[in-house]
Amino acid sequence: MKRILITGASGFIGSFFVEKALEQGYEVYAAVRETSDLSYLQDSRIIFFKANLSEKESIKEHIEKIGRFDYIIHNAGLTKTCKKEMFDFVNYQITKNIIEALYETNKIPDKFILMSSLAAYGPGNPKTLEPIKISDEQKPVSLYGKSKLKVEKYLKSLNNFPYLIFRPTGVYGPREKDYYIMYKTIKNGLETYIGTKEQHITFIYVKDLVNIIFEAIKSNTINKSYFVTDLKSYTAKEFNEIIKKELNKKTISIVIPSIIVKTIAYIGEKTSCFFKNSIPTLNTEKFKEISEKNWLCDSSNLVQDFNFAPEYDLKKGVKEAISWYKKKKLL
């Protein structure tokens, strides 16, 4: 039985990785924290890996005790925070801790998957609307994207380390919390845009993302990187239309000028961080990304290398996601 470690197992995408790994017959170690919500990690076959990823020695102790993992999906990551220095700490330093622990215990896996992000490249040209390509220069606009770029550079600098880097675009599906806010807003009869309805965006349904990563794990490919999309492109307007149709809702549509959204993000972040120590979905770093016009990217090497053929386009994925939220009485 092949042994796999999945970090960030308690999160949205991580919980799907765990389910898929169990389904595929792996011995599954789910890295969680004392504070992690284990709602989606109830299967009795799951073995919890409780090392403190902030401390290399703690990771080493756990690895020494358990032994070598055949595969590691390093999916833990920080996408929003009140403490900006934490982007670097979680997305870069923790990855470095894990990899140093693997070297120092001499337990390098057959493959180490890094969940990076399209944000590590930054947006494409807003005028030509050319899709972002792997060969383009990486120019992230947010601190989140910069921290993902830093960890990518670190991985690539290693000698003989068998990594694969995946950079998903916006991931959606059941259990997800950010796009869910859009579904709720539309359910309430409001359809909002930042600056324009002609924002060009890409998506990947969580199950397709997880499937392709398990295909990649089984392949002989190493030391490459991939953007992950459903191979299609959409506009913000098309996305809203799909949601509206699925919710059977008529809406009032508002294009909010970017400067107003930026101000709302700033005030929301300051007050929420000060009073509740929690960061809202719309925050100043997120604004830098969602106000960009071109998030198209080229995922064709996924098709070339792994015959990627996504099962879900946006219409099918939104339908399934909304049906899940409805079943959970969240919509």
Ligand X SMILES: NC(=O)c1ccc[n+]([C@@H]2O[C@H](COP(=O)([O-])OP(=O)(O)OC[C@H]3O[C@@H](n4cnc5c(N)ncnc54)[C@H](OP(=O)(O)O)[C@@H]3O)[C@@H](O)[C@H]2O)c1
The length of the chain, given as a count of residues: 331
- Of 182 and 251, CB closest to ligand X: 182
- CB under 6 A: which stretch of 31-39, 212-220, 249-257, 291-299 binds ligand X? 31-39
For ligand X, the closer of residues 251 and 280 by Cβ is 280
171 binds ligand X (CB under 6 A): yes
Query: Which of these ranges, 12-20, 149-157, 231-239, 303-311, lies near ligand X under the rule CB under 6 A?
Result: 12-20
Neighbours of 264 (CB within 10 A): 14
Classify 47 in phi/psi space as left (phi over 0), alpha (psi -120 to 50) or beta: beta
Nearest Cα neighbor of 226 from 282, 146, 152, 278 is 152
Q: How many residues bind ligand X (CB under 6 A)?
A: 24
Do 122 and 291 contact (CB within 8 A), yes or no? no
Distance, in Å, from the CA atom of 82 to the CA atom of 251, rounded to the nearest integer, reads: 33
Integer Cα distance of 51 and 44 in angstroms: 19
- CB-nearer residue toward ligand X: 26 or 180: 180
Kindly identify the residues of this chain, within the stretch 43-62, that bind ligand X according to CB under 6 A.
Answer: 53
Nearer to ligand X among residue 77 and residue 251 (C-beta): 77
275 phi and psi, to 5 degrees?
-85, -35
Task: Show the binding pattern over residues 84-123: x = contacts ligand X (CB under 6 A), - = does not.
Answer: ------x---x--------------------x-x------
Is residue 256 classed as helix, strand or coil in its secondary structure? strand
Query: Is 78 an interacting residue with respect to ligand X (CB under 6 A)?
Result: yes
Closer to ligand X at the Cβ: 49 or 306? 49
CB neighbourhood size of 23 (10 A): 11
Q: According to the binding rule CB under 6 A, does residue 282 interact with ligand X?
A: no
d(CA 140, CA 145) in angstroms, rounded, equals: 5
Q: Which stretch binds ligand X (CB under 6 A): 2-10, 189-197, 278-286, 295-303?
A: 2-10
CB of 96 to ligand X, least distance (A): 13
Backbone CA torsion sign across 311, 316, 318, 324: negative
Tell me whether residue 168 or residue 280 sits nearer to ligand X (CB atom). 168
Q: Rule CB under 6 A: which residues touch ligand X?
A: 8-14, 33, 35-37, 53, 75-79, 90, 94, 115, 117, 168, 170-171
